[in-house]
């Protein structure tokens, strides 16, 4: 962990800057999970990404003036407990985080349907690179069509059409696989 | 924690957030009571079980072909299939467990190509992969859920790359090894840009056998009439997901994934059956069109789909889109450099004509307002296979309706007000009656095109 800033320091364009959080806290979370038990490397990586995902999902419930690490610690502790159904043991001082763990109780700490995520990731991996990249630009970086068009040297309509295609392909494949699409 | 680990974490997080945003937009959720799903799932499981429990020979007698795709199965059943029965290529591979890093040398892996289908829009092949007993030391085949040939390149007798799933380093390595003079991701006349699907058809834990299908569809041009194909690859990846502490795997929560990669060197040459390289389509002519702006330029049916193309005039769109499309196409085909592409795009932005357009065009937050218009409706959430009247479809004279299949499609402006629509439909030769009606849902209204078979 390079620094322990407040949530406020990780907000960019009114949303959490996940890239920056990944850079700053992955080593810290890796050590916590590694100390908690003999997890395979892939499990550790999965739990860390789940931690960031849960933090992102709850971003509007976070107190921007509080430090970010207790939130991350609370989430990761919960994930470890859920995985092994045992209480967490390591060298960290849990009391330091007690207050923030109460905050964490308000958070939704579930990760829904990893299977659906895997299915969509698989579908995306089968698409052309440009379509996939545009999908991430739109849905992860929340970039506007106009910005994507400039970045990729495409017209706005082409970007929209590519997004539309990708969405349709995913919808259609998911529909075939038994996912209801209209909520 | 190493750099690769950090990048994997970043990518996984990115995937989860991207897909959560997508799901939110779509109002999507999993519904296990979905009827279509249940029927399809039962059918697939039943077929796999037949293969598993009765052996390959008996399974073939019960269900001759199984491509994991309805329209391809139908084409195969009607005779449009090549029985390859290639030699078995056995390789002594290096197995690496991607999670634990455990490496096992000399794991025998045999690959054999079975059935094969190729036409203008599809290249699909079934193959059988057999692993030796050593694989059981590190991987439980019974739990196999995903298989991928990570660096497959398919090249034809004219040295055209029809398909590649290889990353740049793998692509460059294989091209060097096989003396192929191609550049990664340049979609010129010597290389196709494809989407693809990979289907695990069945696996037999006892005999360490996996049946696998790979299907590719071109995105930029129709597949050529190749006479011979070479399949080269070096990496087979197997992946499984396991539940934790007895939690239901169907709930998808906390699945533990594990993957192994087998590295070898496979090279198959396949003779394309004559009926495929000499393939002909049944042509249709236009009898009537209910909208005079529609000019049909393609209406033909093959063994894997119906191809329909029309130019639509007087379409209200963004007047510069076709210019950007043209530049982008030239760039993707390797005809112009990135610098040239950027220069030409900028020239359009800087032109007086564009500035004039921009001044008067509707804006949102200071930037040009998005044109969200969906000109042709080909998909709708509420549509199922029985009720497709609200989307673009084809009806044969028996009243059977067919949706678009997106095997090959184009929807783009080719001039200021001219729009090119091309798509394939899920109708093959066996369902193609003498007369057909194409219903295009254009700007929310149906346009009817009556077609008649050319005899």
Identify which of A84-88, B82-86, B302-306 has the greatest average pLDDT.
B302-306
ipTM of this predicted structure: 0.79
Q: Quote the minimal CA–CA distance from B287 to chain A in Å.
A: 31
What mean pLDDT, rounded, does chain A reach? 72
pLDDT band at B168; cut points 50, 70, 90: confident
Best residue of B21, B23, B361, B371 to probe chain A, by most A CBs closer than 10 Å: B23
Give the pLDDT mean for B374-400: 78
A126-160 pLDDT, tens digit per residue, is 777 778 888 888 888 878 777 888 777 777 767 77
B169-183, B238-252, B272-286, B424-438: least confidently modelled range: B238-252
Q: Say if the Cβ atoms of A182 and B258 lie within 8 Å.
A: no
Q: Which of A157, A169, A182 sits opposite B318 (nearest CB)?
A: A157
Q: Say if the Cβ atoms of A45 and B411 lie within 8 Å.
A: no
The share of chain A scoring above pLDDT 90, in percent, equals 2
Q: Does A55 have pLDDT greater than 80? A: yes
Tally C-beta pairs within 8 A across A and B: 209
- For CA atoms B104, B4, B193, B155, give the dihedral sign: negative
Q: Does B249 have pLDDT greater than 50? A: no
pLDDT number for residue B366 = 60
Question: Looking at chain A, which residue has its C-alpha nearest residue B332?
Answer: A130
Q: Say if the Cβ atoms of B37 and A116 lie within 8 Å.
A: no
A13 in contact with chain B, both atoms CB, cutoff 8 A:
no
Q: Say if the Cβ atoms of B17 and A53 lie within 8 Å.
A: yes
A94 in contact with chain B, both atoms CB, cutoff 8 A:
no
Q: Say if the Cβ atoms of B99 and A40 lie within 8 Å.
A: yes
Q: Does B424 have pLDDT greater than 60? A: yes
Give the pLDDT mean for B377-390: 66
What mean pLDDT, rounded, does chain B reach? 80
pLDDT band at B27; cut points 50, 70, 90: low
Q: Say if the Cβ atoms of A178 and B34 lie within 8 Å.
A: yes
Which chain B residues are within 8 Å of A81, Cβ to Cβ?
none
A47-51, A59-63, B148-152, B320-324: least confidently modelled range: A59-63
Q: Which of A42, A142, A180 sits opposite B31 (nearest CB)?
A: A180
User: The whole model's pTM is what?
Assistant: 0.61
Which chain A residues are within 8 Å of B18, Cβ to Cβ?
135-136, 139-140
Residues 141-160 of A with CB under 8 A from B: 142, 144-146, 153-158, 160
pLDDT band at B32; cut points 50, 70, 90: very low
pLDDT number for residue B400 = 92
Identify which of A85-94, A174-183, B15-24 has the greatest average pLDDT.
B15-24
Q: Which of B1, B367, B374 sits opposite A27 (nearest CB)?
A: B1
Q: Does B75 have pLDDT greater than 80? A: yes
A22 in contact with chain B, both atoms CB, cutoff 8 A:
yes
pLDDT number for residue B231 = 94
Q: Say if the Cβ atoms of A139 and B12 lie within 8 Å.
A: no
pLDDT band at B387; cut points 50, 70, 90: low
A57 in contact with chain B, both atoms CB, cutoff 8 A:
yes
A8-37 pLDDT, tens digit per residue, is 888 877 778 888 899 888 988 888 888 777
Which chain B residues are within 8 Å of A40, Cβ to Cβ?
99-100
Q: Which of B6, B29, B321 sits opposite A158 (nearest CB)?
A: B321
B351-361 pLDDT, tens digit per residue, is 888 888 877 77
A107 in contact with chain B, both atoms CB, cutoff 8 A:
no
The share of chain B scoring above pLDDT 70, in percent, equals 83
Q: Which of A56, A171, A172 sits opposite B26 (nearest CB)?
A: A171
pLDDT number for residue B288 = 97
Q: Distance (Å, rounded) from C-alpha B147 to C-alpha A122? A: 11
């Amino acid at each position: 962990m390079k620094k322990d800033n407040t949530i406020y320091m990780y907000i960019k364009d009114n949303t959490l800057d996940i890239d920056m959080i990944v850079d700053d806290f992955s080593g810290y979370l890796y050590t916590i999970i590694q100390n908690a038990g003999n997890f395979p490397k892939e499990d550790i990586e999965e739990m860390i990404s789940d931690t960031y995902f849960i933090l992102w999902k709850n971003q509007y419930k976070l107190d921007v003036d509080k430090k970010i690490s207790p939130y991350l610690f609370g989430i990761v502790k919960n994930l470890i407990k859920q995985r092994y159904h045992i209480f967490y043991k390591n060298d960290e001082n849990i009391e330091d985080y007690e207050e923030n763990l109460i905050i964490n109780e308000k958070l939704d700490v579930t990760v829904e349907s990893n299977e659906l995520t895997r299915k969509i990731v698989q579908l995306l991996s089968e698409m052309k690179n440009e379509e996939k990249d545009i999908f991430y630009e739109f849905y992860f970086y929340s970039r506007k069509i106009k910005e994507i068009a400039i970045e990729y040297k495409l017209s706005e309509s082409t970007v929209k059409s590519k997004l539309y295609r990708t969405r349709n392909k995913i919808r259609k494949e998911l529909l075939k696989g038994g996912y209801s699409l209209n909520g | 924690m190493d750099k690769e680990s950090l990048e994997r974490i970043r990518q996984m997080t990115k995937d989860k957030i991207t897909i959560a945003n997508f799901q939110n937009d779509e109002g999507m959720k999993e519904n296990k009571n979905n009827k279509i799903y249940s029927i399809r799932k039962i059918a697939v499981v039943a077929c796999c079980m037949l293969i598993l429990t009765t052996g390959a020979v008996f399974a073939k007698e019960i269900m001759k072909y199984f491509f994991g795709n309805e329209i391809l199965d139908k084409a195969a059943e009607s005779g449009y299939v090549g029985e390859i029965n290639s030699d078995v290529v056995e390789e002594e591979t290096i197995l690496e467990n991607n999670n634990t890093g455990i490496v096992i040398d000399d794991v025998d892996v045999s690959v054999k190509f079975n059935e094969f289908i190729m036409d203008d829009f599809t290249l699909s092949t079934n193959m059988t992969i057999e692993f030796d007993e050593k694989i059981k030391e590190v991987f439980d085949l019974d739990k196999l859920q995903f298989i991928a040939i990570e660096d497959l390149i398919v090249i034809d007798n004219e040295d055209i790359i029809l398909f590649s799933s290889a990353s740049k380093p793998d692509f460059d390595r294989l091209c060097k090894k096989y003396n192929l003079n191609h550049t990664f991701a340049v979609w010129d006349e010597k290389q196709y840009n494809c989407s693809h699907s990979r289907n695990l058809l069945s696996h037999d834990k006892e005999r360490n056998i996996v049946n696998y299908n790979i299907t590719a569809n071109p995105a930029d041009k129709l597949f050529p009439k190749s006479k011979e194909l070479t399949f080269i690859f070096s990496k087979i990846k197997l992946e499984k997901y396991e539940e934790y502490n007895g939690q239901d795997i169907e709930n998808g929560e906390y699945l533990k994934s594990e993957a192994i990669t087998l590295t070898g060197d496979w090279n198959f040459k396949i003779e394309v059956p004559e009926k495929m390289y000499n393939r002909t389509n049944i042509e249709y002519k236009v009898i009537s069109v209910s909208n005079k702006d529609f000019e049909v330029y393609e209406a033909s049916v093959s063994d894997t789909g119906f191809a329909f193309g029309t130019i639509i005039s007087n379409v209200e769109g963004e007047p510069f889109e076709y210019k950007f499309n043209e530049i982008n196409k030239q760039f993707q085909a390797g005809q112009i450099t990135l610098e040239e592409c950027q220069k030409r795009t900028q020239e359009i932005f800087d032109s007086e004509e564009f500035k004039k357009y921009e001044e008067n065009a509707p804006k949102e937050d200071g930037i040009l307002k998005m044109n969200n218009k969906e000109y042709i409706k080909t998909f709708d959430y509420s549509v199922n296979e029985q009720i497709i009247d609200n989307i673009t479809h084809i009806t044969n004279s028996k009243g059977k309706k067919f949706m678009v299949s997106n095997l090959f499609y184009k929807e783009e402006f080719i001039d200021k007000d001219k729009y090119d629509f091309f798509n394939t439909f899920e109708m093959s030769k066996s369902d193609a009656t003498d007369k057909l009606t194409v219903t295009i849902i254009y700007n929310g209204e149906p346009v009817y095109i009556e077609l008649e078979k050319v005899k």
